């Protein structure tokens, strides 16, 4: 048999072109696209180690420009998004902090458009992977558009924009095989992060329950970076932005997230849309952590480091406004897809800091929109158009819409006295940050502690949340094929917290095989836990905005269903009826909302089994009906049942126990007990019995 010809990975001579040879003598020097050798691929060029990034950094600009234009027209990151219109209203006059007009009058609302998104997957991926969620808000103010472009996690993987293309390349589909989609459980991602200690804090958040939220209505949002607010006296205050959902933060279990992806890939998109259609408008409070330079100097980390948080116990949140989403898009493409966010869209009274990740974003986002939306006139698309007048001398360009008459397209000019002029009084002026220094590629020493806050995050979690983090690392690292990457990551986990490293190693059968990692700065052991970091510790007991499903059959008690519906409505929740068939039921006049085959219990927050005796006899032999209850039990949901459903519970292996949220509705207080259990969202005591911690 003839031996197949082996494909060469070297650059070969192409017909009609030059020969491009690889570097000789094993030289693997990294270069720009123009062949210039790169001395430092880790840091952007800054004015001093804590100064702003310089426009002359041609290496950074080439790298990010190439990255921004890799795909057209889908976003490279945040491709799968869901959006809604709404309004923002300040809670009080904030002139003490800022001169931004939209933050002055508590009676004056500002229109907004919000886009939520996953980060890693393409536009056709599912809603529920373990991933960061984008949380971007465009404020249409009378002084221009302000974009607060953040995530549902307050820190980021990297400290410098120079590494952003590398991060995204590592987490996206592997380039030779085109998978996995919307997932980080593969060699490329873990190889990259295991070689970048600065990612450790963000990894703890991503592997926590924050990575698999219950819905978009239940996520928190963060501006990530430190920004400035500037008042009319030109006094500057540092701020961190926080969005807090009125419903409270909530998550799913991993098994739930996986099954939801199969049952309804559009689960979170559908939930957001339907809640607005039903008039159950999602709402968030915008708060800031506000502090001055003296306070910043006292902190034991650098406020310009985007891998760090300021614990709320150190600087509490100050609520400044309320946002309500009350209108769905009319056209998904024209609005949700074409909206163009940019952290450089700010208004007088808001300003930047020289955070090196933020500085790179200020270039990257504009460059991206030029590629995605066809040219420099993307601001004329209705969803991007400011509500205040636009007056300047920019003309022409692809997709120009505005018709601007006259001969003058320059300034200064004397030909048109009515043409726009600069306005030193009203115009935007950057805060005169005095920091400056020599041009260099270097991280400040104040950015060097990569493990202390990761340890604090672990210690701030409740026992169930810690178990979920262990399970997440175990799952992700078990999908890694290269043994050296696994043992390297186990070494990092040992540094974060020895207990965490041991539990993950034991779960993988790799005890004692962790690499020894020597951190640049020894992690602190004296940081107090921050309860504000835990979803479970601060979860409100409520079922407002949630959905309960009742499994009903021919002959089910219509009065019991009506009573349940009224009790849930009083709590702000809704009831969906699920039946073996979607047609009108006999003997009670009930009309099911969904058919059992298309409505697994994973889609609901709590469940009730209310079959008739005859209906239960039929359901007990239907695997889907038993799995409906079995999954609800495994996913720690509150379960209500009537006497007829007893045989179904028995077959599903479920033992009634009101203390564990498995409640009989027969009797006077049964319904109240069920609702009380459902308000807990998850019955965590049941998890210890069903899934003992690793």
Q: CB-based burial of residue 691 (10 Å sphere; 0-12 exposed, 13-18 middle, 19+ buried)?
A: middle
Q: How many Cβ atoms are within 10 Å of 16's Cβ, its own excluded?
A: 5
Q: CB-based burial of residue 191 (10 Å sphere; 0-12 exposed, 13-18 middle, 19+ buried)?
A: middle
Half-sphere exposure in the Cβ direction for 587 (13 Å, CA): 11
Q: Is 151 a catalytic residue?
A: yes
Q: Is 231 a catalytic residue?
A: no
Among candidate residues 483, 513, 484, the one with its CA nearest the CA of residue 501:
513
3-state secondary structure 353-422: CCCHHHHHHHHHHHHHHHHHCCCCCHHHCHHHCCCCCCCCCCCCCCCCCCCCCCCCCCCCCCCCCCCCCC
Do 593 and 587 touch, CB atoms closer than 8 A? Answer: no
Catalytic residue among 43, 78, 145, 384: 78
3-state secondary structure of 137: strand
Do 177 and 188 touch, CB atoms closer than 8 A? Answer: no
DSSP 41: S
Question: In whole angstroms, what is the distance from residue 173 CA to residue 187 CA?
Answer: 11
| Region of residue 74 (phi > 0: left; psi between -120 and 50: alpha; otherwise: beta) | beta
Question: In whole angstroms, what is the distance from residue 117 CA to residue 123 CA?
Answer: 10
Among candidate residues 494, 555, 541, the one with its CA nearest the CA of residue 683:
541
Catalytic residue among 43, 145, 151, 633: 151
Cis peptide before 180 (omega within 30 of 0): yes
Residue 151 pairs in a beta bridge with 134, 222
User: Which amino acids are annotated catalytic?
Assistant: 78, 151
């Amino acid at each position: 048999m003839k031996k197949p010809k082996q494909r060469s990975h070297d650059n070969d001579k192409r017909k009609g072109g030059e020969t491009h040879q690889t570097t000789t003598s094993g030289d693997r020097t990294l270069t720009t696209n123009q062949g210039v050798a790169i001395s430092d691929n880790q840091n952007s060029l800054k004015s001093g180690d804590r100064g702003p990034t310089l426009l002359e950094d041609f290496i950074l600009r080439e790298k990010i420009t190439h990255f921004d234009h890799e795909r057209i027209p889908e976003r490279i990151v945040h491709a799968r998004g869901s959006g809604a219109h709404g309004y923002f209203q300040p809670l009080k006059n904030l002139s003490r902090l800022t001169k931004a007009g939209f933050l002055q009058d508590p009676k004056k609302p500002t229109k907004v458009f919000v886009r939520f998104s996953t980060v890693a997957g393409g536009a056709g991926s599912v809603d529920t992977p373990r991933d960061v969620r984008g949380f971007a808000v465009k404020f249409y103010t009378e002084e221009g558009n302000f974009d607060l472009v953040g995530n549902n996690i307050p820190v980021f993987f990297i400290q410098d924009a120079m590494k952003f293309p590398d991060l995204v390349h590592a987490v996206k589909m592997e380039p030779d095989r085109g998978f996995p989609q919307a997932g980080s459980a593969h060699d490329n991602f873990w190889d990259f992060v295991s070689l970048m200690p600065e990612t450790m804090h963000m990894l703890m958040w991503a592997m926590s329950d924050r990575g698999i939220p219950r819905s978009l209505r239940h996520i928190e949002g963060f501006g990530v970076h430190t920004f400035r607010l500037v008042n009319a006296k030109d006094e500057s205050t540092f701020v961190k932005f926080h969005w807090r959902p009125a419903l409270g933060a909530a998550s799913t279990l991993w098994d739930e997230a996986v099954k939801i992806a199969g049952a309804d890939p559009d689960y979170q998109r559908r939930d957001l849309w339907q809640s607005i259609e039903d008039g159950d408008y999602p709402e968030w409070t915008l708060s800031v952590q506000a502090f001055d330079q003296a306070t910043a100097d006292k902190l034991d980390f650098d406020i310009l480091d985007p891998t760090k948080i300021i614990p709320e116990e150190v600087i509490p949140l100050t609520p400044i406004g309320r946002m309500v989403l009350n209108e769905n898009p009319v056209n998904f493409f024209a609005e949700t897809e074409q909206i163009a966010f940019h952290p450089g869209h700010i208004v007088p009274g808001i300003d930047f800091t020289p955070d090196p990740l933020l500085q790179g974003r200020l270039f990257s986002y504009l460059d991206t929109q030029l590629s995605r939306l066809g040219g420099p006139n993307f601001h004329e698309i209705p969803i991007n158009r400011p509500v205040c007048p636009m007056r300047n001398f920019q003309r022409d360009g692809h997709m120009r819409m505005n018709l601007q008459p006259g001969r003058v397209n320059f300034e200064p000019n004397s030909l048109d006295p009515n043409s726009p002029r600069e306005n030193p009084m009203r115009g935007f002026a950057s805060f005169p940050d005095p920091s400056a220094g020599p041009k260099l590629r270097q991280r400040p020493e104040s950015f060097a502690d990569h493990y202390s806050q990761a340890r604090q995050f672990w210690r701030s979690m409740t026992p169930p949340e810690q178990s979920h983090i262990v399970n997440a690392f175990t799952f992700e690292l078990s999908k890694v094929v290269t043994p050296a990457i696994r043992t390297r990551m186990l070494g990092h986990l040992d540094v974060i917290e020895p207990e965490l490293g041991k539990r993950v190693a034991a779960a993988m059968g790799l005890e004692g095989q962790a690499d020894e990692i020597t951190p640049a700065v020894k992690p602190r052991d004296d940081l107090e836990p921050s309860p504000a970091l835990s979803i479970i510790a601060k979860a409100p007991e409520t079922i407002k905005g949630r959905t309960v499903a009742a499994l009903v059959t021919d002959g089910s008690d219509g009065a019991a269903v009506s009573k349940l519906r009224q009790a849930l409505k009083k709590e702000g929740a809704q009831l969906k009826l699920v039946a073996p068939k979607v047609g009108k039921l006999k003997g009670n006049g009930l009309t099911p909302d969904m058919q059992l085959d298309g409505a697994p219990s994973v889609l609901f927050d709590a469940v009730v089994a209310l079959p008739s005796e005859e209906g239960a006899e039929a359901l007990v032999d239907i695997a889907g009906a038993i799995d409906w209850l079995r999954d609800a039990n495994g996913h720690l949901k509150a379960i209500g049942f009537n006497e007829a459903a007893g045989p179904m519970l028995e077959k599903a292996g479920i033992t009634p126990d009101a203390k564990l949220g498995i409640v009989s509705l027969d009797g006077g207080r049964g319904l109240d007990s069920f609702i009380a259990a459902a308000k807990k969202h998850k019955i965590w005591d049941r998890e210890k019995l069903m899934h003992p911690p690793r």
